[in-house]
Structure formats: structure tokens, C-alpha cells
Amino acid sequence: MDPHLIYQVQQPHLDLQDYVECFWMLRNDAETDKPVVILPDGRVDVFFSKSTIENFHVTLLGIGTSPERTTIAARSVTFAISFKLPGVECILKTSIAHLINKGEKQPNDLWTFHENDLLDFDEFCQKATRQLLHSLSRQNDPRKIKLFDLIYANHGSLSVKELSERVYWSSRQMNRYFLQMFGLPLKPYCNILRFRASLQHIKRGKLFPEENFTDQSHFIREIKKRSGVLPKTLNQNQNDRFIQFSTMPEK
């Protein structure tokens, strides 16, 4: 990974694990911007950021469905909370359907955070944990609980038909819920999770399907659709341009 990029990640409190995937920090210590490509990962992020040219600000980023070229500003730092989808309804308590492939500025004092909270990542995580637990309304719809358990446990590899049968919730109702709350149908979301799970295999040089793709051609098409490149190019990751790929831990 680029030595000027400093990355840390911390897992959430046990009571938040169904709603929050992780807390993370990314800092660019270089004097120049870093061009990167953001890959779809199925998460919903709240960013707390500042740089030498931009004041402290908070951004809510919806679900990404395609690769996005952007830059990490020079001398910048971002602390973030990455939510699983149940966290959208039970902590953020708002629809993000309008935020497919885009972000939206939030109040700078969201959850009482301010610029000084970006000085210490551990303290940020502790404060975020307290604020999120205070905001949390636990999911009480057993269909949604089981649906998300199945989706995440199987990395999106189950068909909508199988999910419907196992959750006892019609495909039409599940898709209506996903569209109204998250902005895309259930199947495309599952495809994003399957793509994300494939990144770990690709990083290890396994350039063939291992996540219930129909065949090699289907695998290559889906990887190119979500990343913009072929699996081999993604594996090479020249100049650390695929930032999630670079920060992905080895298993």
C-alpha cells in the first residue's frame, strides 16, 4: 500500500454488529492528491473529513453500484462509520433511496461530532459507539432480521426466490422494501455483495469464480461491471488505485 496512506479499522461493539460493519480511518500524508477508484461494497458510509483546503464536514454516502474515480485530498483525514443495511433503518432512520452512487452533506454537528474528534481514532470509535447505541432502535421485524442474516452470511449468493421461500416474504414485497429504503432491488444488491466477496479471492490470484457465478464468462462480466476492469487488472492493482483492494487484509 502507498506509504503515504495510513489506514486503520476497528470492529464495532457487540450490540452494534448487526447494524455497523466497522469504523475506519484513512489519512493521506502526502503533499499531493491520490487518484483512486472506489469499488461497490454494499455498505452505507458516514464520513467525517477535513483537509488543508477543506474544512471539517460530514457526508452520508449511499450504496454504490459501479466504480467511481475520485481523489483522496493531500494532507487529509477521514474517519468513517460503515453501516450494514439494517443500520440505515435502525440508526440513521431515513431512506437513502435517493443516494445511489452519490453522497449528501450532513449537519457538521451530527451526533455531536466536531473537528477535534478527528485527532484520535480510538476516542472517535468510543464516542461513535456511545452515540450509535443511544440512537439504536432494534429491528423487530423477524422477516427483515432473517433476510439480512441470510444475505450477509452467504455473501449475496442466494437467489431472490430462495430468500423469499426461507424468509416467508414475497419477492415483490422484498423488492418494494429495498427500493423504498435503499434505492435498488434486492438482486442487484446481492450481486454487489457477491462481487465484494470475490475481491478476496482475486487478491490471492484466484481469477476464476468461487461465489456461485454461472461460469467464467459470467464472473468476468460481473467483475468488469463492478470494477471497470478485468480480474487480472484488478489483481495487479497498479499504483494502489483500487483503494478498498489495497486496504483489504490478507486472509
In this predicted structure, the answer to whether residue 251 has a pLDDT above a threshold of 60 is: no
Going by C-alpha positions, the residue among 165, 60, 139 that lies closest to residue 104 is 60
Position 218 scores a pLDDT of 87
244 in a structural domain = no
Confidence tier at 108 by pLDDT (50, 70, 90) = very high
Check whether residue 115 and residue 15 sit in a common domain. yes
Is residue 84 within 8 A of residue 43, CB to CB? The reply is yes
Confidence tier at 144 by pLDDT (50, 70, 90) = very high
Position 250 scores a pLDDT of 61
Check whether residue 167 and residue 91 sit in a common domain. no
Least trusted range by pLDDT, from 95-109, 135-149, 201-215, 217-231? 201-215
Check whether residue 66 and residue 81 sit in a common domain. yes
| DSSP-based three-state secondary structure for 198 | helix
| DSSP-based three-state secondary structure for 105 | strand
Check whether residue 44 and residue 104 sit in a common domain. yes
Check whether residue 47 and residue 131 sit in a common domain. yes
In this predicted structure, the answer to whether residue 24 has a pLDDT above a threshold of 90 is: yes
Q: Tell me the residue range of the domain where 227 lies.
A: 142-236
Check whether residue 185 and residue 126 sit in a common domain. no
**What is the arithmetic mean of pLDDT over 83-108?**
97
Is residue 21 within 8 A of residue 83, CB to CB? The reply is yes
Check whether residue 124 and residue 11 sit in a common domain. yes
Quote the number of domains for the chain.
2
User: Which pTM value belongs to this model?
Assistant: 0.94
Residues 155-188: tens digit of each pLDDT: 999 999 999 999 999 999 999 999 999 999 999 9
Is residue 80 within 8 A of residue 165, CB to CB? The reply is no
Position 30 scores a pLDDT of 96
Q: Which of 135, 153, 188 is the last residue of a domain?
A: 135
In this predicted structure, the answer to whether residue 1 has a pLDDT above a threshold of 90 is: no
Of 2 and 196, more confident = 196
